[in-house]
């Protein structure tokens, strides 16, 4: 079984090295494809140092870049690691590989910590995803997308990221795969990703309102109807992540 990892980046010279090195440190090797949106800060030079497969061309944003990566990979299982994120330890892909040794598993996910942008040893939030069951999405739940690994066959059957969903494209994709089409998934009870703080949808109240509108659209395009309180619960669930720290 081959694992492929896609990284989308534009002007990520300050963090891309940590991302790449966390992949290279894995005990299980993986194909790494970097889709660069024509960086101007030296990002491409850093990528070339490591010999990762690099595609640099204009794109329509991060999810367009991810879709380009999905079209180029040849792995059986695909993960996405953002340029300012890193795998939490060297056994992440080994654990993923073990899960997918079960042919009945279509996807898997795990836990994630948000860290200070500069001091990545300082944890700000702890996203402990927990086990999945069908009604979870109706309760405002979603798995951390950077921890979400999926078989290539699922993308081929059910499609890639919907660019019309903006910052909610990852939410829509997981909603589509897990709730609409009911692919199987497995929870890895371990921190898989260290993510620097600074998500686009959380930068301002205005962005949070826009994100909520896109979340509604994510349900609508899949022919699904959330409870009236579902999408209010989604951001509220994050509050507890600031108070529960990993052991």
| Domain-located, residue 8 | yes
Cα distances (Å, whole numbers) of residue 15 to 85, 142, 144, 191, 227: 8, 26, 20, 20, 39
Cα separation, 27 vs 149, in Å, equals: 17
Cα separation, 128 vs 143, in Å, equals: 9
Is residue 191 within 8 Å of residue 246, measured between CB atoms? yes
| Domain-located, residue 247 | no
User: What range defines the domain where residue 227 resides?
Assistant: 3-242
| Domain-located, residue 7 | yes
Cα distances (Å, whole numbers) of residue 20 to 79, 90, 168, 192: 14, 12, 25, 15
Cα separation, 239 vs 236, in Å, equals: 6
Give the list of residues 6+ apart from residue 82 with CB closer than 8 angstroms, or none. 7, 8, 19, 62, 146, 195
Which string of b and e fits 215-241 if b means at least 16 CB within 10 Å? bebbbeeeeeebeeebbeebeeeeeeb
What pLDDT was estimated at residue 204?
Answer: 56
What pLDDT was estimated at residue 206?
Answer: 66
Give the list of residues 6+ apart from residue 203 with CB closer than 8 angstroms, or none. none
What's the number of domains the chain is made of? 1
Could you tell me the CATH number of the domain that includes residue 117?
A: 3.90.550.10
Considering only CA atoms, which of 142, 155, 167 is closest in space to residue 217? 167
Q: From first to last of its 247 residues, what are the pLDDT tens digits of the chain? A: 999 999 999 999 999 999 999 999 999 999 999 999 999 999 999 999 999 999 999 999 999 999 999 999 999 999 999 999 999 999 999 999 999 999 999 999 999 999 999 999 999 999 999 999 989 999 999 999 999 999 999 999 999 999 999 999 999 999 999 999 999 999 999 999 999 987 544 455 567 678 889 999 999 999 999 999 999 899 889 888 988 888 7
| Domain-located, residue 224 | yes
What pLDDT was estimated at residue 31?
Answer: 97
Considering only CA atoms, which of 5, 237, 242 is closest in space to residue 130? 237
Q: pTM higher than 0.85, yes or no?
A: yes
């Amino acid at each position: 079984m081959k694992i492929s990892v896609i990284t989308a980046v534009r002007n990520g010279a300050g963090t891309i090295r940590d991302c790449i090195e966390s992949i290279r440190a894995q005990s299980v090797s993986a194909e790494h494809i970097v889709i660069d949106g024509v960086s101007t800060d030296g990002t491409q030079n850093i990528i070339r140092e490591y010999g990762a497969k690099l595609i640099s061309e204009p794109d329509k944003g991060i999810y367009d870049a991810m879709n380009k990566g999905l079209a180029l990979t040849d792995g059986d299982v695909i993960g996405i690691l953002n340029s300012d994120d890193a795998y939490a330890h060297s056994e992440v892909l080994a654990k993923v590989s073990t899960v997918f040794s079960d042919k009945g598993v279509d996807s898997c996910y795990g836990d994630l910590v948000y860290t200070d942008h500069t001091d990545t040893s300082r944890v700000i939030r702890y996203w402990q995803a927990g086990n999945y069951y069908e009604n979870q999405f109706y309760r405002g739940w979603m798995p951390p997308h950077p921890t979400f690994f999926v078989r290539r066959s699922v993308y081929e059957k059910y499609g890639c990221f919907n660019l019309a969903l903006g910052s909610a494209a990852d939410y829509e994709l997981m909603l589509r795969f897990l709730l609409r089409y009911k692919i199987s998934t497995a929870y890895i009870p371990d921190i898989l990703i260290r993510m620097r703080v600074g998500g686009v949808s959380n930068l301002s109240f205005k962005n949070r309102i826009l994100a909520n509108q896109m979340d509604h659209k994510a349900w609508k395009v899949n022919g699904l109807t959330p409870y009236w309180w579902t999408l209010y619960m989604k951001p509220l669930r994050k509050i507890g992540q600031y108070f529960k720290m990993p052991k």
